[in-house]
Structure 1
Amino acid sequence: MLVSKVFADSEQSMKKSLSVWRVLRLALLLLLSQIVNKSEAQYVNASNFYTAGVVEFRPTIAGMSSADLVAEHLKAYLEIITSSEAADVDILVFPEGTLNNALQLTYVPSERQKIIPCSLRNATEYAEFLVALSCAAAQVRKYLVINLSEKEDCPATPADTRPCATNGLNVYNTNVVFDREGRIISRYRKVNIYVENKNTTLQPEYGMFDTDFGVRFGHFICFDMLFYTPAQELVHRYGISDLIFTSLFYSELPFLAATQLQQGWAWGNNVNLLAAGASNPRAGSTGTGIFSGRKRALASVMITSGEGERKLYKARVPKKGTLDFDYEMDYENSMRGEEKLNSSTGRHLDGMRLLKDPQIVNFNSMLLPLGQRIFEKICHQDFCCEFSLESELVEAHNNTPSYKYRMGVFSGSRSYEKDQRNNIKVCGIYSCRNDQPESCGELWESEEFNSEVYLTNILIKGKFPKAPELLIMPSSLDANLNPLMGGEAYWKYEPQNKHIDVDVWLHGRRRDIMTFGLYANYYNSGVGSRVLNKMLAIFLGVIFIFRVKQ
């Protein structure tokens, strides 16, 4: 009897042990399966990304000879290129105007020549810095994008009968791209010149190149972003979804701060944008980032005080056409350049030079009522926008300046420099230093400012007429001059028969908003339109003369 009981107890214990073992084995198999699946997913997903690096670079302005300045810049470039931080980068982008100068020019071969400057035994026609960067790209096996001042002999383009400089040279603002072997695979000369003593090509050029990781890139320079040719054309005409932007950009409030425009442009086009900015806040230039379609910035920085910086920002960029491009990733560990803003105050913008929208006083606008729910429809000419939000008053700190807000709408032409104009339609909420429209787009220069209002659940709706050459983009800015889109801010874009309905909204409450709205560029005063207008004027002039002679 005792033996039977012991046997029964032993059998029961064994069954329990087997049951536990089965559970453990099943758990182990599930764990191994997850590890394998995760590993396979990581392997598969790795091909859906590339790693990009963009450099915010402070140029040395004075204190050296022109040759020494270039040598100092080159040394800093090479340190970044060969740094451990750049080790995993596939493509590395430097900004506009931070390498050489008008006294240290270089010839640049066309990509059609397939030249590797580093491999030439006698490369005397190419500057030493160009050869050195070709060698660096080959050494680290990376795609490298730089911007420089290029010289070309005027006779090299016989069809160009425009007057030539007395030294027989054309001087261009040029992007140069090296492949992993140091070969020049793309050369682009800037089309839209902004207050520069540079030449333009007889016909606009388009910068494009293919990579061994399956991505075709287009690239352009700074002021080009505001015009159809070539920047928007690379997207609309050539279907390119990964763009490179080298810039020495002067931010303008309230709608065209550097990273504000960069994110808006990438968002509106639903493309990847690698933007490298020159870093000189006191002169007004800064703004670097990596943006992926309609997501939060993968990397973003605005240096708003001091002398600027020399720093690499990088991110894994999802390729267009993959599930990863449309998936909102976890950005907690992504490299973001901005600092988190205190809930009530913004940081000091120490002497940063900022431009101001010349049309801001011409907006049809109204002062934002405080402490209430707001529903307003505002029109300028035949363009209307609807505003819905709540404003909640908070206690202001004594003797600390605070901003007011206006809701405004504009439809019309705006100028940049010389004869460069665009037709735009804008609607948004933007900050002002006081109740008057003239103070909008201006910042307080105190050590800190205070916002006396929370803005909650903002919704702005616009009805934009369709046009062949059009980009509608969100425009958002916080008190640190960083964009807001993604995370809490989204939009809806719905084309109709003759117009496009666009909504942009911000969930939750914010106390640090400087700008939030929609910015549409109709481009019909761009390069192409100016050419067409001139041709039309000539044509009408010929008809007039012909009729007079008759």
Structure 2
Amino acid sequence: MISFQLYLYVAIFILSGLRTLALDKFTAAVYEHPVILANATLEPVSPEDAVALMNKNMDALEVAIKRAAEQGSHIIVTPEDGIYGFRFTRKTIYPYLEDIPDPEENWIPCTDPDRFGPAPVQGRLSCLARKNSIYVVANIGDKKSCHSNDSACPSDGHYQYNTNVVFDSEGKLVARYHKFNLFTFETTIFDYPKEPEFVTFNTPFGKFGIFTCFDILFHDPAVVLVSKFQVDTILFPTAWMNVLPHLTAIEFHSAWAMGMGVNFLSANTHNTSSDMTGSGIYAPTGPRAYHYDMETENGHLVIAELNSHPRLSPTYSGAVNWSAYASTVERFLSEEQDFTGMIFYDEFTFTEITKHEGNYTICQRDLCCHLSYRVAEKREDEMYVLGAFDGLHVVEGQYYLQICTLVKCRSTNLTTCGEPVTTAQTTFESFSLSGTFGTSYVFPEVLLSGIHLAPGEFQILSDGRLVSENGTSKPVLTVTLFGRVYEKDGSTTSIPTNVPQHL
């Protein structure tokens, strides 16, 4: 008979082993992939030709996955559209789609490839995960047959979804997410899921949630995954077209991680002709590693270490009251005349920053933005403005914004303020930006000359100030507090027509 003391020793040994399996830190990888695009055709290609094109892209992903695993990565994220590209109609994308089962089916495609019908892409991704002992995140297309008794069934008899899949280190399908917020042209190719999906899964190195590209600008599922499901890390395949000054990939994705208090793994498609670049590994305290390249067409692997549970880290600052400081400050009087200008089709109210140092306030509707600053030298050939926007953005989606921004103008002509700028020469020795925000969802951005981030060079105070006491390593393009008022997204307004695609 085994003694009670021996039982106790065995139990302690097992519990100790379980604790060692739970990792405090993990190594993450994201791969920015220059996707090989299909030829634009009006008729679908054969299934064999579709698989051949996807295999060419997966050959490149395979190299990245192996390199990431060899460098100790526990998980790798690959881009949206990274396996078949984006030159499709609803009809021509169909040969590229597979039936992706519910992860509750407990399926390892690598060892049981025919269980749910032909699935060569899922099979190969599963084997890449299994053979390299790494979690693999990819974006592919899902197809689901439907019948006439389903009133929403499309006329071609099936649904098709923009879909993220996750295979664990054994090659098992552990997550499937159907994109909920389709970007403009996607609506002619893919179907909306009937309800937003809140997809999470647990690992020895934290709890993960997943969504795709345009989803990040909306409440469901992005905010819910953090606020309700308490995920530690977001996985984010994207095909992100950069829009200066506030919506470049590295800028906004790092700001979202900081504003929401989560790790964020962003893998972008690389296609400079479509302004697609910018991938990174971001923590709530700032970027751990990122990549931005508009000069070449090369892919790039980014690897960095993260805390598995970032909100438990001693460096995590916790909740921020984004209006606390600004609401107590008297409005700084300015001698300058306010004027209006456009940033990404939104009409901002601006005031020019004219002095070597000073305090400025600009207001629009319920939002007042306060800036205190000092520059090393007030250059005559560069102009900066402080801007405020409080309203519904209505181009390529409707979403309500409150934005406070210090932004460099393209020239010394006031009419150029708000236009895209990539370089600057003015060095700020210090700055503090705050606003009377009506939302708790505010994302802090600092973008420097040459499209660089500023890790460790600014901080967010609990009273809602974005401050840099010692300046930045490079000249400033923009310092921004980008607020989202989700409950006002349904506001009515006229929507401009004939506006070009940008995001």
Q: CA RMSD in A?
A: 2.7
Distance (whole Å) between structure 1 residues aligned to residue 344 and residue 408 of structure 2? 13
Q: CA deviation at 1:127?
A: 2.8
Q: Is the 8 A contact 2:408 2:421 kept in 1?
A: no
Q: CA deviation at 1:305?
A: 2.1
Q: Is the 8 A contact 1:53 1:86 kept in 2?
A: no
Match of 1:357 among 325, 340, 344: 344
Give the match for residue 312 of structure 1. Answer: 301
Give the match for residue 75 of structure 1. Answer: 59
Q: 5 Å matches for 1:25-424?
A: 47-61=23-37, 66-83=50-67, 86-100=70-84, 102=93, 103-120=95-112, 122-123=114-115, 125-155=117-147, 160-166=150-156, 168-195=157-184, 196=186, 197-211=189-203, 213-295=204-286, 297-307=287-297, 309-320=298-309, 324=313, 326=315, 357-359=344-346, 362-370=347-355, 372-393=356-377, 403-417=382-396, 420-424=397-401
Tell me the alpha carbon deviations over residues 340-381 of structure 1, each in whole angstroms, 9 at most, x when there is no partner: xxxxxxxxxxxxxxx96211xx211112214x2221121111
Tell me the alpha carbon deviations over residues 456-486 of structure 1, each in whole angstroms, 9 at most, x when there is no partner: 21111222225xxx411102111222332x4
Distance (whole Å) between structure 2 residues aligned to residue 239 and residue 437 of structure 1? 45
Distance (whole Å) between structure 2 residues aligned to residue 408 and residue 373 of structure 1? 17
3-state SS of paired residue (2:469): strand
2:438 equivalent to 1:465: yes
Give the match for residue 493 of structure 1. Answer: 462
The structure richer in helix per residue is 1
Q: CA deviation at 1:214?
A: 4.2
Partner amino acid, structure 2, of 1:504? L
Q: CA deviation at 1:63?
A: 6.5
Instruction: Quote the sequence identity (%).
Output: 26
Q: CA deviation at 1:124?
A: 7.0
Query: Alpha carbons of 1:322 and 1:471: their partners in 2 closer, same or farther (altered >3 Å)?
Result: closer
Q: CA deviation at 1:67?
A: 4.1
Match of 1:427 among 404, 407, 412: 404
Distance (whole Å) between structure 2 residues aligned to residue 112 and residue 80 of structure 1? 28
**TM-score, normalization: structure 1?**
0.73
Give the match for residue 25 of structure 1. Answer: none
Distance (whole Å) between structure 1 residues aligned to residue 142 and residue 21 of structure 2? 40
Distance (whole Å) between structure 1 residues aligned to residue 485 and residue 26 of structure 2? 33
Query: Alpha carbons of 1:437 and 1:223: their partners in 2 closer, same or farther (altered >3 Å)?
Result: farther
Distance (whole Å) between structure 2 residues aligned to residue 456 and residue 92 of structure 1? 38
Stretches of structure 2 lacking an aligned partner (at least 5 in a row) = 1-18, 41-48, 86-92, 318-341, 493-503
Q: Is the 8 A contact 1:384 1:462 kept in 2?
A: yes
Aligned residues: 430
Distance (whole Å) between structure 1 residues aligned to residue 309 and residue 257 of structure 2? 12
Q: Is the 8 A contact 2:262 2:311 kept in 1?
A: no
Query: Alpha carbons of 1:409 and 1:80: their partners in 2 closer, same or farther (altered >3 Å)?
Result: same
Range that drifts further, 92-101 or 261-270: 92-101
Q: Is the 8 A contact 2:284 2:316 kept in 1?
A: no
Q: Is the 8 A contact 2:103 2:174 kept in 1?
A: yes
Partner amino acid, structure 2, of 1:434? S
Q: Is the 8 A contact 1:292 1:325 kept in 2?
A: no
Query: Alpha carbons of 1:75 and 1:124: their partners in 2 closer, same or farther (altered >3 Å)?
Result: farther
3-state SS of paired residue (1:298): strand
Q: CA deviation at 1:311?
A: 2.1
**TM-score, normalization: structure 2?**
0.79
Partner amino acid, structure 1, of 2:281? I
Partner amino acid, structure 2, of 1:507? E
3-state SS of paired residue (1:119): coil
Distance (whole Å) between structure 2 residues aligned to residue 261 and residue 280 of structure 1? 19
Distance (whole Å) between structure 2 residues aligned to residue 177 and residue 126 of structure 1? 18
Q: Is the 8 A contact 1:477 1:483 kept in 2?
A: yes
Partner amino acid, structure 2, of 1:59? V
Q: Is the 8 A contact 1:367 1:435 kept in 2?
A: no
Range that drifts further, 319-328 or 233-242: 319-328
Query: Alpha carbons of 1:482 and 1:454: their partners in 2 closer, same or farther (altered >3 Å)?
Result: closer
Task: From the CA coordinates, give the structure whose radius of gyration is larger.
Answer: 1
Range that drifts further, 145-154 or 83-92: 83-92
Partner amino acid, structure 2, of 1:480? G
Q: CA deviation at 1:426?
A: 0.8
Distance (whole Å) between structure 2 residues aligned to residue 163 and residue 46 of structure 1? 44
Match of 2:482 among 519, 526, 529: 519
3-state SS of paired residue (1:199): coil
Distance (whole Å) between structure 2 residues aligned to residue 270 and residue 234 of structure 1? 12
Q: Is the 8 A contact 2:278 2:290 kept in 1?
A: yes
Tell me the alpha carbon deviations over residues 381-436 of structure 1, each in whole angstroms, 9 at most, x when there is no partner: 1211211112343678xxxxx6421111111111242xx31111111101111244
Stretches of structure 1 lacking an aligned partner (at least 5 in a row) = 1-42, 329-354, 397-401, 495-501, 534-550
Query: Alpha carbons of 1:321 and 1:405: their partners in 2 closer, same or farther (altered >3 Å)?
Result: closer
